[in-house]
Structure 1
Amino acid sequence: MYTRCLVCATPFEPNQELEHAPHGQRLAFDPTRGRLWVVCRTCRRWSLLPIEERWEALEELEKLATDKATLLSQTDNIALLRHGPMEIVRVGRAQRTEEAWWRYGRELASRRQKWNKLGLAGTVAAGAVVAGGWAAGGISIFGAWLVMGHGSDTLRDGARWLRFGSSAWRGDQACEACGHRFRALAYRDRASLGLFPTDETGQVELVARCPRCGHYREAGLHLTGDEADRTLRRILAYHHFAGASEKRVFKASRLIQEAGSPQDLTRIVVRNGKRLGDLQRTGGIALEIAANEATEQRLLEAELAELEAHWRREEELASIIDGELTPLPVLEQMRRMVTGGKN
C-alpha cells in the first residue's frame, strides 16, 4: 500500500483501525465500484490504491463505517463520517440509523458527569476546611454549615466563570428609543433575553430590554444573523453548564426528530417569541443541540461540496485506470465480495 501521496509525496499518517489499509487518516471508498483512495491532508488529492490491495481493506472500511463511525453529514452522493481521528468519505449515502445531532447530545450528557464531579470535589474541599477550622477552634457551627452548604456551588460557579467569563456578547449598539449604549450582554441577564423567529429558516433574533427606557421589542438590544447565532450558542452552553441526564437528552433528541430538522425545531420552539427563562428544560436542551447542529451543518455542506467535486474528478480517472488495467470479470467479482453479492 502507498505510504506517500502520489501527487505531493507527503507521507500518509498511520492509522490503528484498519489492518489492510494502515496508512492515512482520511480515506474515501466506493463499495459499489470497488474504489479505495487515501486522501492527502496537504494537497487534498486522492491517491487510488492498486486494485489488488483493495478488497480486504474495502470490507474493513465498510464495516467500520457502518458499525462504529459517526455520521457527520451527507448528500445524495457523498457521506462524511468520523471514527476517532479517522475521517471516512463514503461514496453513496451512509446506512446509519444514528443522526448527527446525537453527537452533541452525548456531549451534554458528559457535562452532567463533570458537574457531579465538581460538586463532589467542592464538598470534599469544604469538608477539609471545616475539619481544619474545627480542630483549630476557629469556626462555629453556623460557619461550618455555611461552608458545607456552599462549597460545591462555589467550585461550580468558578469553573463556569473560567470557561465562559461574564459576558456572552460584547460590542457597541445603541437603543433606538433613548440612545443607551449596549457594550455587553451579561450571562446573569439571560433569563429575560427574548428569542424571536426571523425570515431566515432556523435563525433567531435575540432581544434584550433597554435598562434606561425599558423598551423591549421596538428598541433595546437586537442581535441578528451570525452574531445572534454565536451569542445564542454561548448563552445556551452557559445556561446548561450542568449538562443533562441521558433520559432528558433522549427526549430532546426526539423533539428534533419529530420536528423534522434542527432548523424546524428552532422555528417551533421560538414561535411567536419567548424569553429564555420561559423555555422548558427539555425544550432548552433541544434548542442548544439544534443550534449547534445547524451551525455545523452549514460548515460541513461547504466541505461536502468540495469533496464531491474531488470525487467526480478522481472517479473519472479511476474508471480509466481500472478499465485499462483490470479485466472486467475480476472487477465484478471484487464488487460482489464487498457488497455481499448485491447487484
Structure 2
Amino acid sequence: MVPATSPPPAATAPGARAARRSNRRRATALVLSCALLLLAVLASLAVGSRAVPPGTVLDALRGIGDSQDALVVRELRVPRTLLGVLAGAALGLAGALMQALTRNPLADPGLLGVTSGAAAAMVTAVGVLGVTSRLTLVWASMLGAAVVSVVVYVLGSAGRGGATPVRLALAGTAVSAALTAYTTAQVLLDQQTFDRFRFWQVGSLAGRGLEASWQVLPFIAVGVALGLSQSSSLNALALGVDSGRALGARVGRTRVVTALAVTLLCGAATAAAGPIWFIGLAVPHAVRALTGPDQRWVLSLSLVLAPALLLLGDVIGRVVVRPGELEVGIVTALLGAPVLIALVRRRRLAQL
C-alpha cells in the first residue's frame, strides 16, 4: 500500500501566508474598532455644550464629587452614552444581518420597511390607543417591525423566482411609503401625538433617561445572541441555497432566526432612540471592505463599530450648533450619505 502524501510545502505556503495576513488584518480592525468605541464613549461623556475635564468624568463615574459637572455626567451623559452604545450596536448588527439574509449589500432595516413599521406602530399606540408606558411602546414597536417584515417578505416572494434582493427592496420601499403616509396623517390629525412624536421622529439620544436603556436591554441582548449564532449558517447560505443545504445549513431555520433577531434589534433601538438612518446600511458595507465577506467578522465588527460611529455623530451634533444641539438622526443622515457614496465609488459593491 502506498502511503498518502501531503501536498508539498511550496504549494500550501502562499495560501497559508495569505490566510494569516487576512486574520491579522481582521484582528487589527477589531482591536482598532474597540479602541474607537472607547474613545467615542469618553468623548460622549466629556464633550458637549458644557465641556467636562477628563479627571472630573472619571471621578463622576466612580461616584466621587457632587459638582455641577459631575451631576451633568452622571445624570445626563451616562444615560445618553449607554443608550447610544445599545442603539448603535443593535442597528449595526441588524443591518449586517439583513444584508447577509437578503444577499443585498445595500439592504438595511429602513430600506426594507422595518423602521417604518416600528414608527407606524408607535404612532398607533400613542395616538389611537393612548399608550404612555415606554415598555408598552417597545413591545408595540417590535410588533410593528415584525408584521412589516412578514408583509415585505410575502410580497417579495410572490411570483416566479422567489424573494430576490430586488423584489424585497421594491416591496420594502412600497410598504415604507404607505406606512410613512399613515404615520404623517396620524401626526397631523392629532396635536398631542404630534407633540410626543416630533422629537422621537428625528432620532435622538437626549432626554431618554436610564430607564429607556434598561427596558430595551433584554430585547437587544436576545437579538445579539440570536444574530451572532447564525454567522456560520449565513456564510453557508452566501454560496446559494442548494450549496448551503449541502454544507449542512438549515435554510428555513436560519431565515426565521435571523429575521427574529433583526426584528428584536431594530424594534428595540427604534423604540428607544427613534429612527436613525444609515448606521445599519453604511457600517456593514465599510466593515466588509476591511474584513471580506466572512459573516463571523462582519457581524462582530459591525457590533462594535456602529455604536462608536453613532456616539461620534452625537458628539458632533452637540458642538456644531453650540449652545444648541443637532439631533444624532440628522447628523448620521448628513454624514452617512456622502460616506456611502464614497465607498461605492472607490470599490465595487461586495457580492453576498
TM-score band, normalised by the shorter chain? under 0.3
Larger radius of gyration: 1
Which structure shows the higher strand fraction? 1
